[in-house]
Each structure stands twice: as C-alpha cells, then as structure tokens.
Chains A and B, each alone.
Chain A
Amino acid sequence: MGRTLSEKVWDRHVVHQAAGEPDLLYIDLHLVHEVTSPQAFDGLRASGRAVRRPDLTVATEDHNVPTDDIAWPIADPISRQQVEALRANCEEFGITLFPMGHPGQGIVHVIGPEMGLTQPGMTIVCGDSHTSTHGAFGALAFGIGTSEVEHVLATQTLPQQQPGTMSVTVEGALPAACTAKDVILAIIGRIGTGGGIGSVIEYRGPVIESLTMEGRMTVCNMSIEAGARAGLIAPDDTTFGYLQERPCAPTGAAWEAALDDWRSLCTDDDAAFDQEVVIDGSELAPHVSWGTNPAQVAPIDGAVPHPDSFAEASGRDAAARALDYMDLAPGTLFKEIPVDTVFIGSCTNSRIEDLRAAASVVEERRAHPGVRTYVVPGSAAVKAQAEAEGLHQVFKAAGFDWRAPGCSMCLAMNPDKLSAGERCASTSNRNFEGRQGKGGRTHLVSPAVAAATAVAGVFATPGDLA
C-alpha cells in the first residue's frame, strides 16, 4: 500500500518510535520570532540547557515592528522590550537574527522561502500557526506553542502524534478573475474552520499545479484556518525553479543530489487519504469574507447571507453574532458596502507577486477619497525588489501608503490598527473579532480585490473598475 507525501516526509524524520508514545521527529529548521519565544528561552536558562542546533535556527523581528519609522529604538516601550529580549536571547544562545532594518528581515514565513531555507521534504516548525506556509515546497511545516519552541531549541526534535491525511483536489482551470487567495477562501468556506482538524491537507490537481510558488504559499498559509495541522503541495519543476540559486539552496553536485531526492517526494498512486475533497476550480469566483471566522465567506458578486440559510443551529447563531459584530444586514450586496481601510500585506499576500498584482490594478488610478490604504511588503527583500521595479511609485502615485516590512495590520501588535467600527478589506488571513484592532471589522480578500476596492471605495474586482 502506497504512502502519501506527508507520510513520506514524516517517516524520514522519525528519530525514535515506540508503541503508546508519540513519534520523536527530527526538526530540520526552526524559525523564531519575538512574540512566542521569550518564555522558551527563559525555560532553557532555568534548566541550564543550551540550544542544540543554533545552525538550524533562525530568528527575525516581525510582529512588533513599526512600518513607518524603523529606526531603533521602537517607540512603544513594551514592543521594544520584547524585541530587546529576542536580541539578547539570540546573542546569548548563538542564533542568527535578522533585526529591523537588516536586508534579511521580514515576516518569518516570507524570509524562509526567499532565502532558500525552506526546501522540499524538510520538517519546519515555528511558534506561529502560519508555519503551514512552507508546505508549499513539499515540506512538513507546522505551528507550535512556546513549550514546544523550548523543546525544539533544547533537543532539535519534537514528540508528535502522526496526523491524519486529507486531500483537497482542485480540478479544472481557474477563471481569469480568480487567484490563489480565492481558491483557499473557497476551500475553507466548503470544509469549515474544523474541516482539517487533526490532519495534514495535501492540495492537488491541475489548479494547484498551475499556481506559482507565491500562490501555493498563499494556499498553504491558510490551511490552519481550516483547522489543519499543516498543508502541503508536492514539489515539481515550479518549486525547483523557484529554489535554484536562492542563497541557501544547494549548488553544483549538491543541487543534483537534492533534485534526485526531491523528485521522489510525491504521494504514491495507490496511497489512500483518510478524507478526500474535490472542488471544481472552474466554478470558483473571487471571494470575500463577511463574518468573524474564515469559513464565513461568499463570492463577491453576491450578498451578505441570512443566518437562517444555515442548516445547523450553531451555524445560525455564529452567523447572527458575526453579522452583529460586522454591522451588516443580510441581503446587502458586497459591491455596495463601503470600506474605510485597505490593507495589502501579511504572510498570506505580501510577496512580490502579490504586490505586482495590486500595483497593476491601481496603475493610472487613484485610491478612493477617504480610504486609508496600507501596502506593507512581507520582507526587506520584497520591498527592495518592488522598489527596483518601480511598484512603490505606482502605489504612491495612486495615493497608497508604502511602508516598511512586518506583520503590521495583520494582527495589530504595532501601531498599525483599525479603530472601533472601521471596516477593512484585508489580504491577511484572519477576520477574527478585534484581530486588526479592537472593534475593527475585517473582510478577507485577494490582493487584486483589495486594490480594486481601494479604488472603488466599495468591494470591487478589477473588472468592476471603469
């Protein structure tokens, strides 16, 4: 009986296995940021332990960093303290850190791939749920808590129960107006926030294969929004083409050896998944979220749903509560809902391709008067690339605010926040209550829809613009 890709990657990382115990998995790469690590380093100190493999550990400053003034020190004393703690910990334990202002700095899930640190067949962890992003390369990558961060720092391993397997196959071909973001929003809408719980989702099929690496990262990024432990996609020539010549990718004979190995990383034809979902990609449309969890989504051409349209009582209650929080009346057309703010950024959609897509929509146009617009590149490298291509000029000419890299308004730990009642079209991944600022109302969309919405002042696709 064949094995799935996630099982193959799992099997090759088992250090110790015994009945009645979780498998002890080796971790190839551990990504660290300032929010979920200080208590882990304290734990190491308290027990007199060292970091086993500082050479397989890399840290960045992303969640707390301001995106307007990146001169040290950070004005907010509490944010500063957290970043200072990371700097001191990395210094003490010998870990490579990319601090604010460094050309390697950026959102933790953006810098790993762009440096070529994220490679097929690896195990990657980070004290951050969106670690699933790295699954786009055929790596088994999952978010962990702070106790587990400490565990990996001390041992470079993690005891884990083997997750279940699930496939989501997207057949057909995407309509031109659809992007990777619409694919994943539609998938979450279909399987629900708990649909992937306990499982690794493998995304497959012609639509997934046709996506660029940026698009695949967008899809895998939001696996956690469907509850999944991780998401992954089998590596192929698109993957290898992206990796070749990245700073940390192998070269010469080592590249050939790596390629040989990577080509074996796919699900066997006779492997069975615990759960299988098939979606017809040709029927997808640009999506927008209307509620306060990422499964509460709908095609942007439609209207805000009525709570009574949900079959289950818990779905009705959740929808009613969400519409109350979002201040939306059932039946309202999305394309008539005005927005106050547009945020283009986050580890879901802040890579160069996302910025290109947004820039191509706003070129020769202006942001709608009164709409606040943030464009926050995912990393210093993305920012430099965008500026080399002149994208920053396109955004600035259209009245957009071009900012420095970081998590920014994705979770509002820095000064970039929504105020109470503000409505935002956001390319991020979570529309939870208060996620982008207390009382803020988040609608998840693709970069193209975010850009068009900024121009129109109401939810819009590029095709709606005159």
Chain B
Amino acid sequence: MKPVRVITGTALPLDRSDVDTDQIIPSDWLKRVERTGFGQGLFSEWREDPGFVLNDPRFAGARILVAGPNFGTGSSREHAVWAIQQYGFEAVISARFGDIFRNNAAKNGLVPVPVDGDAARSLLDAVAGAPSVEITVDVEQLIVSAPGAGVSTGFSLDSSVQHRLLEGLDDIGLTLAHTEAIGAFESARPAWMPSLA
C-alpha cells in the first residue's frame, strides 16, 4: 500500500443516504477473480440514468466523493472499495460509514472521512453549487477543509489506522511479527474445539 498523507482535489456530491455496497458495485461485477477492472462497474446501474451525478461532466476528475449518511452499508464486498479507487477517488466523506466498508477502505488506502452531519451537509451543498471547489483531506492533521466554501472541520480516524495510512504499512507483515504469541495462544486452546482435520 502507498502512504497517504494529504489529498487535495475537486469532489463529487452524491447526495443520497444509505448508499449500500450493492449500489456501489452491483453483484454482476463480483464474478471477477482479479483485483482490478472495477472502475467501470462503479454505480453501474445508477449510471444508466443520464442525470446521475457521475455522468455530470462538471464533476469529471473529482478525487473526493462526498456522500449522505450511512455510506457503504450492507454487503462486505471489498470490490466496492476497489471500484471507488479504480474510478479515481482517494477519499470518501460521509457522516457515517458501514463498519466493514470503513475497514476495507482503510486497508486499501482509500481514506474514510467521517465528519459531523452539518459539515457533511455544507460540503455537499458547496460542491453541488460550485463544482470547482477544492477539498483537502489531511490525514496527518485529521482536518478536512474547503477554503473556497469556508468549511474546515476535524475528523476522527483510529490512531493505528492513521499510522498505517501515513506509513503505507502492510497489516499481514505487522501481524507476522507476533507469530510466537499466536503459536502460544494456539497451544492453549481447548482440544475439544472444532476442526476439519
């Protein structure tokens, strides 16, 4: 994973609540066995509507997705994160995220930016009204700001998640440093616990 420190760019306003991962990447796309090629599938059903915001050329090239509350609920499919990233987004701002989505995002270096409901509303309105407004997500300072719209607000990120994003660390490598502790734990497990052996 590449380190992520500061993301600055224009944004796409997705003014809907409860955007579930089935909408982000419909199930037809889940048959791929690769980790790439999902950008085309992002919101593929909603995109068939010419009025859908992703089809609005004024928002082309946006690097930040701003959405309504409860973004990324539902299915655990990590494909949703891959699709958002591969389309070109580097951060998602919402008042609340589905837990699994938030985990998956951070593991892939897509920054989940939880802000309070009022700030999310202001950002959505600002971007919808002026597509050229730039937003900066600062992972080091934990601040999201849109100077052109007069918005600046903090956001929270678990400190270990923040550290991993900033350093671009691989989780599995970190865990393997505890191999001895894992082995010790295993030898103390009750023998009656189920196994396929």
Contact = CB atoms under 8 A, between A and B. Distances in A.
Contacts of A435: 22, 27
A155 interface: yes
Interface residues of B, number: 59
A146 B96 contact: no
Contacts, number: 194
Interface in A426-446: 430, 432-435, 438
Contacts of A20: 159-160
Contact of B196 (A15, A58, A81, A438): A58
B34 interface: yes
Interface string A107-149: 0000000001101001000011100000000000001111110
Interface string B140-166: 000000000000000000111000000
A303 interface: no
B76 A79 contact: no
Contacts of B104: 145-148
A271 interface: no
A434 B33 contact: no
Given A21-B160, A438-B45, A119 B33 contact: no
A261 B175 contact: no
A144 B172 contact: no
A102 interface: no
Contact of A157 (B77, B98, B99, B182): B182
Contacts of B172: 47, 49, 150-151, 154-155
Contact of B176 (A54, A64, A154, A194): A154
Contact of A430 (B74, B76, B194): B74
Interface in B171-193: 171-172, 174-176, 178-179, 181-182, 185-186, 189-193
Given A20-B159, A26-B182, A159-B175, A257 B70 contact: no
Contact of A145 (B23, B103, B193): B103
Interface stretch (A28-36, A274-282, A370-378, A387-395): A28-36
20 contacts: A15-B181, A15-B182, A20-B159, A24-B175, A24-B178, A39-B78, A49-B172, A53-B186, A122-B194, A129-B75, A144-B100, A197-B70, A229-B99, A254-B191, A321-B16, A413-B28, A430-B20, A430-B75, A434-B22, A435-B22
Interface of B: 16-18, 20, 22-23, 26-28, 30-35, 45, 68-70, 73-79, 81, 96-100, 103-104, 107-108, 158-160, 171-172, 174-176, 178-179, 181-182, 185-186, 189-197
Interface of A: 15-16, 20-22, 24, 26, 28-29, 35-36, 38-39, 42, 47, 49, 52-58, 63-64, 78-79, 81-82, 85, 96, 116-117, 119, 122, 127-129, 143-148, 150-151, 154-157, 159, 161, 163, 193-194, 197-198, 224-225, 227, 229, 248-250, 254-255, 257-258, 261, 293, 314, 317-318, 321, 411-413, 430, 432-435, 438
